Structure 1
Amino acid sequence: MPQMPAADTPLVLYALGLKRTLSNRKSLAGRLGLFEQPVDLVYTDLLAAVVSPVSDTNRLKEASVETLLLYKDVVESAFVSGTVLPMQFGTCVPSAAALMNALQDQGKRYREQLHALEGCAEMGLRMRLVPADTAPDDAEAPDGRAPAERPGTSYLLRRQRERSGLSASTHRIVGDVRSALDAFTVATSIPKRVAGKAHSVVSIAFLIQRAHAQSFRQEALRLSVPGLNGLDVVGPWPPYSFV
């Protein structure tokens, strides 16, 4: 790996991990990060941060698609052999010393997050749904009753719809998909509607055990859910949606 960044150099922060795993991460050796700067590690006793120097932090405010993809590529290289906490794009610190102080101050919280995510990866689904007029909102629940008839369900469904901006029929489809993949699932994100040309498209992230990624993919591609008109499976990725 390159030498420790100069003491007064601002740094782009890509990800955090445990020192015992990141310090031996060959996938980072010789890598260039944003603006063709070398990727490096900053250590404390137990944690390590994946960084690269940046001379002008304002350059991050007008990032191109290529810059975002390069940022993601560095994070995923760090993820090759172990658990990391991806940082939001554009996260910077004024110096290596400031970063080390932050890691010391917040080290317990970061280690707890890493422990909770140990062995996990994110898988994403992009679900193509049938048009809303062919999937009515008043369909019955699997137990034979409309969702609103079950105690507490109406309120919870309404709050979920308010948070995601999705219709009741879409939430039923998402719920069926979640239930079908429950055996693999540690956690799921709030579903989001994304642009789609011929169909309504909804994306959702699943946190799973990394060892189950292939089984999850196979099971997801076999799904047969009323209202679902196909899906794409992506991942495994670092747990972007769960940090």
Structure 2
Amino acid sequence: MDDIFAALAHPARRRLLDLLFERDGRTLGDLERHLPQDMQMTRFGVMKHLRVLEDAHLVTTRKVGREKHHYLNPAPLQLVADRWISRYAAPFLRAMSDLKTHLEERTTPMTPSAPRHVYELYIRATAQAVWDIITDDAKTPLYQHFNMTSRTDWRVGGSIEFLMGDRAVIAGEILALEPPQRLTMSFHARWSPEVAADKPSRVTWEITPVGTDACKLTLVHDGFDGETATSKAVVSGWPETLSRLKTLAETGIPFAMEPAYAPAG
């Protein structure tokens, strides 16, 4: 975690994270233009600071055509919270996630072709081990938000449902199944009338081996029809899900977390 705290130590890097907090998916030029006057620097200087944030996994990037889009990656900060904070202040962390959602409601929409949410973290487990967890319905409640269960027909074109009790709160279809590196599914939220009215979006899990006993997990949630109720709601759930998945893959022990709120019934 030393690299996280070192990356946060510089005010310019904190400001870059603030800009991504206000609106995800910014390009280098956009970030450069929106730095305050007292932090103006060369394009190369901005690139250096972004590289430090990327190395600490606080920022992740995605190429769209010739442009690189930058995303705030909250997963490492969630891990810090899990270690020292969540036992005492989980409701306040949820409030911070809700604040991010509230701020995003006021900002200019991103380029439609750019992914809406991108999360990235490294796991001390093989790609196969992580794949075996996310494609095993029996393990879903050990890491999923709200301890949801799932019911899946594991083939391309097969259905997938995430349930709370007997109620399906997310429904989708398997769009790509490439073990042990890529899983793509459509995502139709149904936990409230607001999200149920949205068109289905898309979730992609990408697992890249790093050496022999570790991997990089990237989750991309895109395909939204603009700023939808679903795109705003999922901000709170994914960091917790990924944090719990990492704990489970590395230790074999589920990380229990009491939710600060529940979806509307």
Q: TM-score, normalised by structure 1?
A: 0.31
Larger Rg: 1
